[in-house]
């Protein structure tokens, strides 16, 4: 732990975590409550990106349907809330279980394919949930569903914005800790080995499919957690939260941060949202209305990263080992 602080990578991670840890105090001191909610969204998206990084970065499996877990986690909470179940102790486990079941089912079918077929089939399953949710007329259909934040009576009050932020932050730290341990565990080494050379791992006697399915399911649960948080953050769910563009954004964040780098998803989420938040007003400043087209600037930026910084932001911190 202390050793890690001797490397630029460790220092950068510690500084970013420190900044996030005191973010609510900073935004309060600066009287910028809006920035607290931006911070909350960054943390939640970082959790989702950490979960995608587990299968994409370690497993080498490009899933293009990860936003489905936003939707499943979110809708589970939203629907239960609409049915009068406000208690988080009930809502959250059900939402996580639903994510696990969905991940296991999708994984069992899609992990039999490879490469671009895997990408297409995960996208197809995500689209399936997307259209299913917009068909849920009882729960708002296309317009989505409003509800109030989960209740944890006697424990914490999520309606307090700073409290909610800190809960998200603690969960992000826990997810990073788990992922860091996983990467170097027996399971993680099998997952990473299969990502780099599946045939070799099979020839060593590893039933690769089983390990991938387990990883896909764990990743799905973590993605579902991000969905629960995202729904609570906006107190609103709609099909839009699981559109294919959100899945694309998640891939962008992982690639931007550095595929397979532990803190990559966090760096990626920070830069992604910072660019979105600041590029828009900046362009509007240059010419009214240009802000709408911030992606015209962001797109080429991504291309440059893909061409010249293959390891993403993380690679700026020096060579990675093991």
* Binding interface with another protein (CB under 8 A): 178, 181-182, 184-190, 192-193, 196-197, 199-208, 211, 214, 322
Host H or E run for residue 285: helix 264-286
Pick the closer one to another protein by CB: 189 or 240. 189
Pick the closer one to another protein by CB: 70 or 216. 216
CB of 258 to another protein, least distance (A): 14
CB neighbourhood size of 166 (10 A): 18
Report which of 171, 169, 227 is spatially closest to residue 36, judged by C-alpha positions: 169
Pick the closer one to another protein by CB: 47 or 182. 182
CB of 192 to another protein, least distance (A): 8
Pick the closer one to another protein by CB: 80 or 190. 190
CB of 88 to another protein, least distance (A): 26
CB of 201 to another protein, least distance (A): 8
The dihedrals phi and psi of 20, each to the nearest 5 degrees, come to -65, -35
CA distance 110 to 118: 6
Pick the closer one to another protein by CB: 225 or 237. 225
Pick the closer one to another protein by CB: 44 or 182. 182
Long-range contacts of 120-123 (CB under 8 A, 24+ apart): 120/64, 122/63, 122/64, 122/65, 122/66, 123/64, 123/65, 123/244, 123/247
CA distance 92 to 97: 8
Report which of 268, 183, 169, 255 is spatially closest to residue 219, judged by C-alpha positions: 183
CB of 319 to another protein, least distance (A): 11
CB of 218 to another protein, least distance (A): 8
Pick the closer one to another protein by CB: 117 or 177. 177
CB of 188 to another protein, least distance (A): 8
Give every CB contact of residue 144 below 8 A, 6+ residues apart in sequence. Answer: 236, 237, 238, 239, 240
One DSSP character per residue, 155-171 reads: TB-TTSHHHHHHHHHHH
CB of 267 to another protein, least distance (A): 21
CA distance 133 to 261: 33
3-state SS of the chain: helix, strand, coil percent to 5? 75, 0, 20
Cβ atoms of 218 and 55 within 8 Å: the answer is no
Pick the closer one to another protein by CB: 206 or 298. 206
């Amino acid at each position: 732990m202390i050793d890690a602080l001797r490397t630029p990578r460790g220092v950068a991670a510690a500084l970013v975590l420190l900044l996030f840890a005191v973010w609510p105090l900073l935004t309060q001191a600066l009287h910028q409550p809006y920035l607290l909610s931006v911070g909350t969204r960054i943390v939640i998206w970082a959790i989702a990106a950490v979960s995608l990084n587990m299968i994409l970065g370690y497993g080498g499996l490009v899933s293009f349907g990860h936003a489905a877990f936003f939707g499943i986690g979110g809708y589970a909470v939203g629907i239960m809330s609409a049915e009068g179940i406000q208690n988080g102790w009930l809502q959250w486990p059900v939402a996580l279980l639903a994510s696990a079941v969905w991940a296991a089912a999708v994984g069992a079918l899609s992990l039999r394919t490879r490469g671009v077929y895997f990408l297409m089939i995960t996208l197809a399953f995500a689209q399936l949930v997307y259209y299913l949710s917009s068909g849920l007329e009882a729960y708002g259909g296309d317009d989505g569903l409003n509800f109030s934040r989960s209740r944890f009576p006697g424990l914490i009050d999520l309606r307090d914005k700073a409290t909610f932020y800190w809960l998200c932050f603690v969960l992000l730290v826990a997810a990073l800790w788990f992922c860091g341990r996983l990467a170097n565990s027996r399971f993680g080494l099998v997952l990473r080995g299969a990502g780099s050379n599946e045939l070799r791992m099979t020839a060593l006697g590893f039933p690769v499919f089983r390990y991938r399915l387990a990883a896909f399911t764990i990743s799905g649960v973590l993605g579902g957690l991000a969905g629960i948080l995202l729904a609570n953050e906006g107190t609103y769910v709609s099909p839009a939260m699981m559109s294919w563009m959100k899945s694309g954004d998640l891939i962008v964040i992982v690639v931007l941060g550095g595929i397979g780098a532990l803190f990559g998803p966090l760096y990626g989420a920070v830069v992604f949202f910072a660019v979105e938040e600041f590029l828009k007003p900046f362009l509007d400043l240059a010419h009214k209305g240009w802000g709408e087209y911030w992606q015209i600037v962001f797109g080429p930026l991504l291309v440059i990263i893909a061409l010249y910084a293959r390891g993403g932001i993380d690679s700026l911190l020096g060579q990675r080992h093991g």
